[in-house]
Protein backbone atom coordinates (compact mmCIF):
# COMPACT_ATOMS: atom_id res chain seq x y z
CA UNK A 1 0.00 0.00 0.00
CA UNK A 2 1.21 3.48 -0.86
CA UNK A 3 -0.80 6.67 -0.36
CA UNK A 4 -0.51 9.75 -2.54
CA UNK A 5 -1.31 12.95 -0.63
CA UNK A 6 -1.75 16.19 -2.57
CA UNK A 7 -1.49 19.56 -0.82
CA UNK A 8 -2.94 22.22 -3.11
CA UNK A 9 -3.57 24.94 -0.50
CA UNK A 10 -2.21 26.04 2.88
CA UNK A 11 -5.01 24.60 5.11
CA UNK A 12 -4.40 21.11 3.71
CA UNK A 13 -1.19 20.81 5.72
CA UNK A 14 -2.93 20.96 9.10
CA UNK A 15 -5.68 18.61 7.88
CA UNK A 16 -3.15 15.99 6.81
CA UNK A 17 -0.92 16.21 9.86
CA UNK A 18 -2.62 13.48 11.98
CA UNK A 19 -3.12 11.26 8.93
CA UNK A 20 0.58 11.45 8.05
CA UNK A 21 1.41 10.67 11.67
CA UNK A 22 -0.86 7.61 11.57
CA UNK A 23 0.64 6.42 8.28
CA UNK A 24 4.11 6.65 9.82
CA UNK A 25 2.99 4.79 12.98
CA UNK A 26 1.32 2.06 10.91
CA UNK A 27 4.25 1.66 8.53
CA UNK A 28 2.25 2.83 5.53
CA UNK A 29 4.27 4.25 2.64
CA UNK A 30 3.21 7.61 1.21
CA UNK A 31 4.30 10.29 -1.25
CA UNK A 32 3.36 13.96 -0.85
CA UNK A 33 3.01 16.54 -3.63
CA UNK A 34 2.44 20.23 -2.98
CA UNK A 35 1.31 23.17 -5.11
CA UNK A 36 3.27 26.39 -4.76
CA UNK A 37 0.42 28.56 -3.52
CA UNK A 38 -0.07 30.69 -0.41
CA UNK A 39 1.94 29.34 2.52
CA UNK A 40 1.60 25.68 1.47
CA UNK A 41 5.30 25.09 0.83
CA UNK A 42 6.50 26.83 4.00
CA UNK A 43 3.95 25.02 6.18
CA UNK A 44 4.78 21.61 4.72
CA UNK A 45 8.50 22.29 5.21
CA UNK A 46 7.85 23.29 8.83
CA UNK A 47 6.34 19.84 9.40
CA UNK A 48 9.60 18.24 8.34
CA UNK A 49 7.86 16.21 5.63
CA UNK A 50 9.54 15.07 2.46
CA UNK A 51 7.43 16.45 -0.38
CA UNK A 52 7.65 17.35 -4.04
CA UNK A 53 6.59 20.75 -5.42
CA UNK A 54 4.47 20.31 -8.53
CA UNK A 55 2.86 23.34 -10.21
CA UNK A 56 1.63 26.67 -8.95
CA UNK A 57 -1.33 29.03 -9.08
CA UNK A 58 -2.84 30.39 -12.28
CA UNK A 59 -3.84 33.81 -10.93
CA UNK A 60 -7.31 35.25 -10.47
CA UNK A 61 -8.68 34.84 -14.03
CA UNK A 62 -10.70 31.77 -14.94
CA UNK A 63 -8.53 31.14 -18.02
CA UNK A 64 -5.32 31.31 -16.02
CA UNK A 65 -6.69 28.91 -13.43
CA UNK A 66 -7.86 26.48 -16.11
CA UNK A 67 -4.53 26.44 -17.94
CA UNK A 68 -2.61 26.01 -14.69
CA UNK A 69 -4.98 23.17 -13.73
CA UNK A 70 -4.33 21.33 -17.00
CA UNK A 71 -0.58 21.79 -16.72
CA UNK A 72 -0.40 20.59 -13.13
CA UNK A 73 -2.68 17.63 -13.82
CA UNK A 74 -0.33 16.43 -16.54
CA UNK A 75 2.75 17.03 -14.40
CA UNK A 76 1.25 15.10 -11.48
CA UNK A 77 0.35 12.14 -13.67
CA UNK A 78 3.88 11.95 -15.09
CA UNK A 79 5.47 12.32 -11.66
CA UNK A 80 3.27 9.72 -9.96
CA UNK A 81 3.77 7.06 -12.63
CA UNK A 82 7.29 6.78 -11.24
CA UNK A 83 6.14 6.54 -7.61
CA UNK A 84 3.28 4.05 -8.18
CA UNK A 85 0.81 4.93 -5.37
CA UNK A 86 -2.07 2.53 -4.75
CA UNK A 87 -4.58 5.11 -3.42
CA UNK A 88 -4.98 8.91 -3.60
CA UNK A 89 -6.07 10.93 -0.56
CA UNK A 90 -6.76 14.65 -0.44
CA UNK A 91 -8.66 17.45 1.20
CA UNK A 92 -10.19 19.68 -1.46
CA UNK A 93 -7.56 18.97 -4.11
CA UNK A 94 -9.49 18.88 -7.38
CA UNK A 95 -6.44 17.31 -9.00
CA UNK A 96 -6.60 14.22 -6.83
CA UNK A 97 -9.70 12.40 -8.21
CA UNK A 98 -8.82 13.25 -11.81
CA UNK A 99 -5.17 12.18 -11.62
CA UNK A 100 -6.20 9.06 -9.69
CA UNK A 101 -8.57 8.20 -12.54
CA UNK A 102 -5.79 8.75 -15.09
CA UNK A 103 -3.50 6.45 -13.09
CA UNK A 104 -6.22 3.85 -12.55
CA UNK A 105 -6.07 3.96 -8.75
CA UNK A 106 -8.87 4.61 -6.22
CA UNK A 107 -9.21 7.87 -4.33
CA UNK A 108 -10.60 9.33 -1.11
CA UNK A 109 -11.54 12.97 -1.67
CA UNK A 110 -12.91 15.31 0.99
CA UNK A 111 -14.36 18.81 0.69
CA UNK A 112 -16.59 21.05 2.80
CA UNK A 113 -17.41 23.77 0.26
CA UNK A 114 -20.69 23.24 -1.58
CA UNK A 115 -19.83 26.08 -3.98
CA UNK A 116 -16.59 24.49 -5.22
CA UNK A 117 -17.14 23.54 -8.86
CA UNK A 118 -14.24 21.11 -8.66
CA UNK A 119 -16.42 18.85 -6.52
CA UNK A 120 -17.81 17.49 -9.79
CA UNK A 121 -14.54 15.58 -10.13
CA UNK A 122 -15.42 13.78 -6.91
CA UNK A 123 -18.13 11.94 -8.85
CA UNK A 124 -15.57 10.13 -10.97
CA UNK A 125 -15.81 6.36 -10.54
CA UNK A 126 -13.22 4.42 -8.62
CA UNK A 127 -13.21 6.30 -5.34
CA UNK A 128 -15.22 7.84 -2.53
CA UNK A 129 -15.99 11.50 -1.77
CA UNK A 130 -16.52 12.55 1.83
CA UNK A 131 -18.54 15.64 2.78
CA UNK A 132 -19.99 17.17 5.98
CA UNK A 133 -23.62 16.21 6.45
CA UNK A 134 -24.65 19.90 6.65
CA UNK A 135 -23.73 20.20 2.97
CA UNK A 136 -26.03 17.35 1.96
CA UNK A 137 -29.24 19.38 1.77
CA UNK A 138 -27.84 22.53 0.12
CA UNK A 139 -29.14 23.39 -3.37
CA UNK A 140 -25.62 23.28 -4.79
CA UNK A 141 -24.95 19.74 -3.58
CA UNK A 142 -27.38 18.18 -6.05
CA UNK A 143 -24.92 19.00 -8.85
CA UNK A 144 -22.02 16.94 -7.49
CA UNK A 145 -23.27 14.36 -5.01
CA UNK A 146 -23.28 10.87 -6.43
CA UNK A 147 -23.46 7.23 -5.48
CA UNK A 148 -19.88 7.37 -4.22
CA UNK A 149 -20.63 10.22 -1.76
CA UNK A 150 -20.59 9.67 2.00
CA UNK A 151 -20.97 12.06 4.92
CA UNK A 152 -19.74 12.89 8.42
CA UNK A 153 -21.33 15.01 11.13
CA UNK A 154 -19.69 18.27 12.19
CA UNK A 155 -16.97 20.27 10.43
CA UNK A 156 -13.72 19.15 8.81
CA UNK A 157 -11.58 21.20 11.21
CA UNK A 158 -12.80 19.00 14.05
CA UNK A 159 -11.42 15.94 12.24
CA UNK A 160 -7.78 16.92 12.66
CA UNK A 161 -8.10 19.09 15.76
CA UNK A 162 -9.58 16.10 17.58
CA UNK A 163 -6.26 14.30 17.05
CA UNK A 164 -4.03 17.10 18.33
CA UNK A 165 -2.97 18.06 21.84
CA UNK A 166 -3.65 21.70 21.15
CA UNK A 167 -2.92 24.16 23.92
CA UNK A 168 -5.82 26.12 25.37
CA UNK A 169 -6.00 29.83 24.50
CA UNK A 170 -3.70 31.87 26.76
CA UNK A 171 -4.30 35.55 26.11
CA UNK A 172 -2.18 37.93 28.13
CA UNK A 173 -3.20 40.95 30.17
CA UNK A 174 -3.08 43.24 27.15
CA UNK A 175 -5.49 42.27 24.35
CA UNK A 176 -3.84 40.92 21.21
CA UNK A 177 -6.13 40.55 18.22
CA UNK A 178 -5.20 38.62 15.10
CA UNK A 179 -6.50 39.49 11.65
CA UNK A 180 -6.24 37.44 8.44
CA UNK A 181 -7.03 39.48 5.32
CA UNK A 182 -9.11 38.32 2.39
CA UNK A 183 -7.57 36.11 -0.33
CA UNK A 184 -6.84 38.45 -3.21
CA UNK A 185 -6.51 35.63 -5.79
CA UNK A 186 -9.71 33.75 -4.98
CA UNK A 187 -12.49 33.89 -7.56
CA UNK A 188 -15.14 33.76 -4.84
CA UNK A 189 -13.86 36.94 -3.21
CA UNK A 190 -13.66 40.45 -4.61
CA UNK A 191 -10.51 41.91 -3.12
CA UNK A 192 -11.15 45.05 -1.07
CA UNK A 193 -7.97 46.05 0.75
CA UNK A 194 -9.59 49.32 1.81
CA UNK A 195 -12.21 47.41 3.78
CA UNK A 196 -9.46 45.46 5.54
CA UNK A 197 -7.72 48.70 6.45
CA UNK A 198 -10.94 49.94 8.08
CA UNK A 199 -11.25 46.66 9.99
CA UNK A 200 -7.68 46.88 11.29
CA UNK A 201 -8.17 50.47 12.38
CA UNK A 202 -11.26 49.45 14.32
CA UNK A 203 -9.34 46.59 15.91
CA UNK A 204 -6.59 49.03 16.93
CA UNK A 205 -9.02 50.63 19.36
CA UNK A 206 -9.28 47.29 21.22
CA UNK A 207 -5.62 46.34 21.59
CA UNK A 208 -2.54 45.26 19.68
CA UNK A 209 -3.21 43.88 16.20
CA UNK A 210 -1.25 41.14 14.43
CA UNK A 211 -1.78 40.69 10.69
CA UNK A 212 -1.46 37.15 9.34
CA UNK A 213 -1.03 37.83 5.62
CA UNK A 214 -1.43 35.25 2.89
CA UNK A 215 1.56 36.15 0.72
CA UNK A 216 4.36 38.64 0.18
CA UNK A 217 2.15 41.07 -1.76
CA UNK A 218 -0.21 41.39 1.20
CA UNK A 219 2.66 41.77 3.65
CA UNK A 220 4.19 44.57 1.60
CA UNK A 221 0.85 46.35 1.23
CA UNK A 222 -0.05 46.35 4.91
CA UNK A 223 3.48 47.13 6.07
CA UNK A 224 3.35 50.30 4.02
CA UNK A 225 -0.13 51.28 5.21
CA UNK A 226 0.63 50.72 8.90
CA UNK A 227 4.31 51.65 8.93
CA UNK A 228 3.74 54.30 11.61
CA UNK A 229 1.20 52.40 13.71
CA UNK A 230 2.61 51.47 17.12
CA UNK A 231 0.10 48.70 17.83
CA UNK A 232 -0.09 46.99 14.41
CA UNK A 233 2.44 44.34 13.41
CA UNK A 234 2.58 42.52 10.08
CA UNK A 235 3.96 39.05 10.77
CA UNK A 236 6.70 38.12 8.32
CA UNK A 237 7.02 34.44 9.17
CA UNK A 238 4.72 31.46 8.85
CA UNK A 239 2.17 31.52 11.67
CA UNK A 240 0.85 28.28 13.15
CA UNK A 241 -2.37 27.72 15.04
CA UNK A 242 -0.36 27.22 18.22
CA UNK A 243 1.32 30.60 17.75
CA UNK A 244 -2.06 32.33 17.64
CA UNK A 245 -3.47 30.38 20.59
CA UNK A 246 -0.54 31.45 22.76
CA UNK A 247 -1.49 35.13 22.50
CA UNK A 248 -4.86 35.72 20.87
CA UNK A 249 -7.62 37.51 22.72
CA UNK A 250 -9.70 37.30 19.54
CA UNK A 251 -9.45 36.41 15.88
CA UNK A 252 -10.97 38.17 12.87
CA UNK A 253 -10.73 36.73 9.39
CA UNK A 254 -12.25 36.75 5.96
CA UNK A 255 -13.74 33.34 6.59
CA UNK A 256 -12.45 29.89 5.87
CA UNK A 257 -10.44 27.30 7.73
CA UNK A 258 -8.57 29.47 10.21
CA UNK A 259 -11.79 31.09 11.46
CA UNK A 260 -13.37 27.69 12.03
CA UNK A 261 -10.27 26.29 13.73
CA UNK A 262 -10.02 29.09 16.27
CA UNK A 263 -13.77 29.15 16.88
CA UNK A 264 -13.65 25.44 17.74
CA UNK A 265 -10.75 26.04 20.11
CA UNK A 266 -12.52 28.72 22.14
CA UNK A 267 -11.06 31.94 20.71
CA UNK A 268 -13.72 34.65 20.15
CA UNK A 269 -13.94 34.66 16.35
CA UNK A 270 -15.51 36.95 13.77
CA UNK A 271 -15.86 35.97 10.12
CA UNK A 272 -16.03 38.80 7.57
CA UNK A 273 -16.70 36.43 4.66
CA UNK A 274 -18.08 38.29 1.65
CA UNK A 275 -19.67 35.43 -0.25
CA UNK A 276 -22.63 33.23 0.59
CA UNK A 277 -21.85 31.40 3.81
CA UNK A 278 -20.93 27.73 3.64
CA UNK A 279 -23.17 25.25 5.42
CA UNK A 280 -20.33 24.46 7.86
CA UNK A 281 -20.02 28.14 8.77
CA UNK A 282 -23.75 28.37 9.39
CA UNK A 283 -23.45 25.33 11.67
CA UNK A 284 -20.78 27.02 13.78
CA UNK A 285 -22.74 30.28 13.93
CA UNK A 286 -25.87 28.40 14.99
CA UNK A 287 -23.87 26.69 17.74
CA UNK A 288 -22.72 30.10 19.00
CA UNK A 289 -19.08 29.42 18.19
CA UNK A 290 -18.56 32.16 15.60
CA UNK A 291 -19.99 35.55 14.65
CA UNK A 292 -20.46 36.69 11.06
CA UNK A 293 -20.68 40.36 10.14
CA UNK A 294 -19.37 42.94 7.68
CA UNK A 295 -20.05 45.81 10.06
CA UNK A 296 -16.91 47.04 11.90
CA UNK A 297 -19.01 48.39 14.79
CA UNK A 298 -20.87 45.10 15.23
CA UNK A 299 -17.53 43.32 15.18
CA UNK A 300 -16.19 45.69 17.83
CA UNK A 301 -19.24 45.19 20.07
CA UNK A 302 -18.79 41.41 19.92
CA UNK A 303 -15.06 41.56 20.63
CA UNK A 304 -15.66 43.85 23.61
CA UNK A 305 -17.27 40.85 25.34
CA UNK A 306 -14.33 38.45 25.75
CA UNK A 307 -16.40 35.85 27.61
CA UNK A 308 -19.06 35.67 24.89
CA UNK A 309 -17.94 32.28 23.67
CA UNK A 310 -17.37 30.51 26.99
CA UNK A 311 -20.99 29.38 27.27
CA UNK A 312 -20.67 27.44 24.03
CA UNK A 313 -17.66 25.28 24.95
CA UNK A 314 -19.89 22.21 25.22
CA UNK A 315 -20.87 22.64 21.57
CA UNK A 316 -17.21 22.73 20.59
CA UNK A 317 -16.45 19.59 22.60
CA UNK A 318 -19.32 17.77 20.92
CA UNK A 319 -18.02 18.74 17.47
CA UNK A 320 -14.54 17.52 18.34
CA UNK A 321 -15.96 14.13 19.35
CA UNK A 322 -17.73 13.93 15.99
CA UNK A 323 -14.45 14.84 14.32
CA UNK A 324 -12.66 11.96 16.04
CA UNK A 325 -15.25 9.52 14.68
CA UNK A 326 -14.85 10.98 11.18
CA UNK A 327 -11.06 10.63 11.42
CA UNK A 328 -11.38 6.91 12.15
CA UNK A 329 -13.84 6.42 9.30
CA UNK A 330 -11.67 8.23 6.74
CA UNK A 331 -8.65 6.16 7.78
CA UNK A 332 -10.72 2.99 7.36
CA UNK A 333 -11.70 3.97 3.84
CA UNK A 334 -8.17 4.95 2.79
CA UNK A 335 -6.80 1.67 4.09
CA UNK A 336 -9.57 -0.40 2.50
CA UNK A 337 -9.17 1.21 -0.93
CA UNK A 338 -5.37 1.12 -0.67
CA UNK A 339 -5.40 -2.63 -0.14
CA UNK A 340 -4.19 -2.83 3.44
Distance CA 32, CA 39 (A): 16
Distance CA 123, CA 121 (A): 5
Residue 333's closest CA among 129, 118, 164?
Answer: 129
**DSSP-derived secondary structure letter, 311:** G
pLDDT score for 75: 96
pLDDT tens-digit readout, 303-320: 887 565 555 678 888 999
Residue 92's closest CA among 163, 159, 31?
Answer: 159
Distance CA 282, CA 279 (A): 5
Residue 277 three-state SS? coil
Sign of CA dihedral 174, 294, 278, 191: negative
Q: Stretch 27-39: mean pLDDT, rounded?
A: 94
Q: Stretch 156-165: mean pLDDT, rounded?
A: 94
Work out the pLDDT band at 65, boundaries 50, 70, 90.
confident
Work out the pLDDT band at 199, boundaries 50, 70, 90.
very high
Work out the pLDDT band at 209, boundaries 50, 70, 90.
very high
Question: Is 80 exceeded by the pLDDT of residue 230?
Answer: yes
Comparing 31 with 185, the larger pLDDT belongs to 31
Work out the pLDDT band at 337, boundaries 50, 70, 90.
very high
pTM, 2 dp:
0.88
Work out the pLDDT band at 274, boundaries 50, 70, 90.
confident
Question: What average pLDDT does the chain have?
Answer: 90
Q: Stretch 218-245: mean pLDDT, rounded?
A: 90
pLDDT tens-digit readout, 98-155: 999 999 999 999 999 999 989 999 999 999 999 999 999 899 998 899 999 999 999 9
pLDDT score for 276: 87
User: How long is the chain?
Assistant: 340
Work out the pLDDT band at 245, boundaries 50, 70, 90.
confident
Work out the pLDDT band at 328, boundaries 50, 70, 90.
very high
Question: Is 70 exceeded by the pLDDT of residue 190?
Answer: no
- Tell me what percent of the residues of the chain surpass a pLDDT of 70: 93
Half-sphere exposure of 253 (CA within 13 A, CB side): 24
pLDDT score for 167: 59
CA distances to 50, 169, 187, 291 from 218, rounded to whole Å, are: 28, 27, 17, 25
CA distances to 3, 17, 40 from 24, rounded to whole Å, are: 11, 11, 21
Question: Is 60 exceeded by the pLDDT of residue 20?
Answer: yes
Question: Is 90 exceeded by the pLDDT of residue 238?
Answer: no
User: Regarding beta strands 176-180 and 149-152, do their DSSP bridges make them parallel or antiparallel, or are they unpaired?
Assistant: unpaired
Q: Angle at which helices 279-286 and 257-264 pack, to 10 degrees?
A: 30
* Domains of the chain in sequence order: 2-152 (3.40.50.2000), 176-318 (3.40.50.2000)
Amino acid sequence: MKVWIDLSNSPHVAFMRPFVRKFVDDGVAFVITARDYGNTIDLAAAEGWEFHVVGGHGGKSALGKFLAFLQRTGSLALFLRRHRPTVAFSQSSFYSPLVARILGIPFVYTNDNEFAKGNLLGRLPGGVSVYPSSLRTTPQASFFLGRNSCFFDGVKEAIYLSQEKTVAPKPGEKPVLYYRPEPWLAQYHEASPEFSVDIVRTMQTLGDVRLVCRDRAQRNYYQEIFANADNVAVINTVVTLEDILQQASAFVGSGGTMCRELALLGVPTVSLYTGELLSVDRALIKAGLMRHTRDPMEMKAFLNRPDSQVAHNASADAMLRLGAAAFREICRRVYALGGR
